[in-house]
Structure 1
Amino acid sequence: MSRSRNRHGRRERGRRIGVRGALITGVVSLSVALAGCVGGSASGSDSGTADGAGGTQLHLVGYSTPKTANDAAEQAFAATDAGKGVTWQESYGASGDQSRAVAGGLAADYVNFSTPPDMTRLADAGIVNADWDSGPTKGIVNDTVVVMVVRPGNPQHITGWDDLVKPGIKIVTPNPSSSGSARWNILAAYQQVITSGGSKADAEAYLKKFFKNVQSLPTSGREATNAFLKGDADVLLSYENEAILARQSGEKLDYLVPSSTLLIETPGAVTKKANAKATDFLHYVLSPAGQAIYQQYGFRPVISDAEKVTVKGANDPNDPFPKPDHLSTVADMGGWPTVSKAFFDPDTGLVPKIQAETGKTQ
C-alpha cells in the first residue's frame, strides 16, 4: 500500500483495500460488549511479569471500543505456541486519557489508541520507540470509518451530512478534548464539505451548525454509544465497528456509511520495556489470522492478504465493508501534526473555538 510523508516528516498511511477468505466465530453478550469502558487497572512494572503460575502477565492499555475484539485476539493468541501461558491485565478508556496515563506511569506492555498523536506522545516521552510507525502498516493495527448510527427504521430519514444540521436533529458524538473517536468524527464532518467542493469557510460554517445540534459529548466512543442507546438522540457519529458490535450484541439500531467519510486508522505498539511476548502479540494482531478476528468484530483489515470473513451485524454480512464514494484520510488534510494544531489545539484550534462559541464544551 502507498505511504507518503507530510511536510512535518510524519508518515501517513493511504487506503488499504482487498480481502479474502474465512469465518471466525464468536460474539459476546451485551453485558460484556457494551458495559463499562475500563477493565482492571494495570499496575506494577512497565514490562510483563510472572503471573504466579509459571506464565507471563502482560499489561494492555487502550481506547475503549476494541476491548471485545482485543479479548478475542488475546484468547486466540494464547492458543498459539508464542502465546502459551500469557495472561492480561487491561485498562480501557478514552484514548487521550489512556495515553496521558501511560505517559504518567501507568504500566503498559502493549498500547492501542484511537489516534496516532496519542502514540506520538509516548514516543516523545521515550516510552515507545520513535520508529513505532515504520513497519509495513506504519504502526496501524486496525481500520474503520466514520458512520452514522440511527434509530431502527431511520425515522428522521437521515441519509447524509446535510441532514445532521437540519433544525431539531439531536446528535451524540464524543468530546474531542478526551476522545480520539470524536476527533475522527469532527474531521469527517469538516472534510466532507471540502470533498464536495466547499471552501474552508464553508466547512467551518458547517461545523458551527453541527455543534449547535449536538445533544451530548460523552467522554469516549463507548460512552457515546451507551448514551445514544439510553437516550433520545436522533443520530450517533461512531466507528463502523462500534455500530456492528452493538448490533451483534442485540441492540436495535441502523447505521449508514456516508458517501463521503473518513478512514480511521488506529495504532498499536509495544513499549520499550515490554516483555518480548508483547511483540509476539503485536505480530499476531497483524497476521491474517489476527486480522480475521478483528474483522469479525467490525474492523476493516490493514493487510492486503487478510482473510475475508462474514460479519454478523453488518448491513451486508457477506460484503461488510463497502467502499464509500469519497474516503478521505488525515494525510489528505495535511497529516496529524498539521491537523492537531489547526483543529484541536486548546488555545488556537478551530474545534475548541467553535465549541466555546456554541456552548458545547461538555
Structure 2
Amino acid sequence: MGKKLTTAVAVSLVGALGLSACGASEAAGGDKATTINLVAYSTPQTAFTSIEKAFQKTPAGKGVDFSESYGPSGDQSRAVAGGQPADFVNFSLESDVTRLVDTKLVDADWKAQTGHDGIVADSVVVLVVRKGNPKHITGWDDLVKPGVGIVTPNPASSGGARWNTLAAYGHVIADGGTEDEAKAYLTKYFKNAVSLPGSARDALTSFTSGNGDVLVSYENEAILARQKGADIDYIVPDQTLLIETPAAVTVDAPKAAADFRDFLFTKPAQADFLASGYRPVIDGVTGEVQGANDPANPFPAPKQLLTIAKDFGGWDAAGKKFFDEENGIVTKIQVATGTSE
C-alpha cells in the first residue's frame, strides 16, 4: 500500500567518548577516580540512574563515575564492536553480547561469571493500548484485524523488536497452529505496522505521540510510561514471551565494572529494577510497583509463558531462523510487506 513508516532516530547519550577502556581520570584533590563506560539498550536508563547512585554509596563504588550511552540494542552492540568505549554492557539480546565475544571484547565465559547466566532483569511482551482500550484489544488476534495500527520497533536494529516478533509468532504455535499459520500471522502483523522506530524507547515515544492503536512492548516500558503520566493501558497476553536482558563486562574493563555488574544481583539493585517495572531475577525481592495494572501484584503469571531456550532453541538458532539478513523468516516477511526500512 506504499505506507510510509515513521522512524525515530535514537539519540545516544555518550559522555567523554575519548576515555580509555579503563576509565581513569583525575578526581578532586588529585585522587584517581574510575569512570565506568556503560553502554546499554534504550529502556533501563531510569533503573540504572538509581542503581548507580546506590552503588556509589558502597565501598566498591566509592570514587566511581559513569559515562552512559543508551540506544537500540543491535546498534549499541555494533558500535562497541566498532570501537566505542565500553566497560559494562547491558543489551536486550544475548546475541548482541555474543557479537562482542566473537570480537574478543568479552570473555567467552561471561555467563558463568555471575551465577545468573548473565541475566540482570526480566520482563514479558505486552500490548499497550490507548486509555480505555477503544479498539477493544484483548490479545494477539486483535492486532491483525483491519484498521488496527501497530507500533513496534524495527527488528533490524532493536532487540526489543525481536522479542516482540517472536512473541507474536510463538503465540500461534502455542495455540496449536502450524509454522505456515504463524508466518501468515506475521505477514498480517507487519502489514498493519504504521511505525517501526529504531528502539523500544522510540517506539513508546511514537505511540504516545499519537501513532497507531497498539504498541507491542516490554511490560516494564508500559509500567514506566504510566509512572510518568502516560494515558495508556496495557494487556499481558495469554501467550507471551519471557524477556531476559544480559549484561557483561569487557576484557579490559576496570575492576569497578565487574563490581558494578555483581552489585546488580543484590537486593537493593534488584529492588530498583522492580521499581522501574522489571521482574527481578533473584528471590526475595517484592513490593508494590506503581504503574502496574495491580500495584500489589504487579507481575501476574501469563497462562503460557514462552522462552527462547524452550520454544525457539536459544538465540543462535532463533537468530538464524528468523532474522538472518538473507533467509530469515522475519527478514523475508518484512521485505514482502515493505517494512524492512
Determine if the alignment matches structure 1 residue 48 to structure 2 residue 23. yes
Q: Which residue of 1 is the match for residue 109 of structure 2? A: 131
Give a deviation string over 1:283-341, Cα, whole Å, max 9, x none. 111111111110100000111x2420211111111111110000000112111111000
Q: Give the secondary-structure state (helix, strand or coil) at the position aligned to 2:202.
A: helix
163-172 or 83-92, which deviates more: 83-92
Q: Which residue of 1 is the match for residue 220 of structure 2? A: 241
Q: 1:174 aligns with which of 153, 157, 174?
A: 153
Structure 1 residues 88, 313: closer, same or farther in 2, change over 3 A? same
Q: 1:266 aligns with which of 238, 245, 248?
A: 245
For residues 176 and 26 of structure 2, what CA distance do their matches in structure 1 show?
57
Q: 1:37 deviation in Å?
A: 4.7
Q: 1:61 deviation in Å?
A: 0.5
For residues 125 and 250 of structure 1, what CA distance do their matches in structure 2 show?
42
Structure 1 residues 311, 246: closer, same or farther in 2, change over 3 A? same
Q: Give the secondary-structure state (helix, strand or coil) at the position aligned to 2:248.
A: strand
1:47–1:107 CA contact under 8 A, matched in 2:
no
Q: 1:36 deviation in Å?
A: 6.7
Q: Give the secondary-structure state (helix, strand or coil) at the position aligned to 1:343.
A: helix
Q: 1:216 deviation in Å?
A: 1.1
Q: Which residue of 2 is the match for residue 17 of structure 1? A: none
For residues 185 and 122 of structure 2, what CA distance do their matches in structure 1 show?
26
Letter in 1 for 2:145: K
For residues 209 and 59 of structure 1, what CA distance do their matches in structure 2 show?
41
Q: 1:83 aligns with which of 58, 61, 74?
A: 61
Letter in 1 for 2:57: A
Letter in 1 for 2:105: I
Q: Which residue of 1 is the match for residue 266 of structure 2? A: 287
Structure 1 residues 37, 319: closer, same or farther in 2, change over 3 A? farther
For residues 270 and 351 of structure 1, what CA distance do their matches in structure 2 show?
31
For residues 221 and 209 of structure 1, what CA distance do their matches in structure 2 show?
21
Q: Which residue of 2 is the match for residue 321 of structure 1? A: 299
Determine if the alignment matches structure 1 residue 164 to structure 2 residue 132. no
Q: Which residue of 2 is the match for residue 338 of structure 1? A: 317
51-60 or 319-328, which deviates more: 51-60
Q: Give the secondary-structure state (helix, strand or coil) at the position aligned to 1:118.
A: helix
For residues 26 and 338 of structure 2, what CA distance do their matches in structure 1 show?
49
Give a deviation string over 1:239-264, Cα, whole Å, max 9, x none. 00011110111111001110100000
Q: Give the secondary-structure state (helix, strand or coil) at the position aligned to 2:263.
A: helix
Report the TM-score when normalising by structure 1. 0.88
Determine if the alignment matches structure 1 residue 105 to structure 2 residue 83. yes
Q: 1:97 deviation in Å?
A: 0.4
Q: Which residue of 1 is the match for residue 98 of structure 2? A: 120
For residues 62 and 201 of structure 2, what CA distance do their matches in structure 1 show?
31
1:51–1:57 CA contact under 8 A, matched in 2:
no
Letter in 2 for 1:57: T
1:47–1:274 CA contact under 8 A, matched in 2:
yes
Letter in 2 for 1:220: S
Q: 2:13 aligns with which of 12, 21, 39?
A: 39
Q: Which residue of 1 is the match for residue 210 of structure 2? A: 231
2:130–2:213 CA contact under 8 A, matched in 1:
yes
Q: Which residue of 2 is the match for residue 70 of structure 1? A: 48
Letter in 2 for 1:248: Q
Give a deviation string over 1:15-71, Cα, whole Å, max 9, x none. xxxxxxxxxxxxxxxxxxxx9752234332112212433321110001010011111
Q: Which residue of 2 is the match for residue 188 of structure 1? A: 167
What is the number of residues matched between the two proteins? 327
For residues 18 and 128 of structure 2, what CA distance do their matches in structure 1 show?
36
For structure 1, the 5+ residue unaligned runs are 1-34
Question: Equivalent pairs: percent with the same residue?
Answer: 56
Give a deviation string over 1:129-186, Cα, whole Å, max 9, x none. 1011124211111100000000000000000000000001000000000000000000
Q: Give the secondary-structure state (helix, strand or coil) at the position aligned to 2:270.
A: helix
CA RMSD of aligned residues (A): 1.3
Letter in 2 for 1:343: F
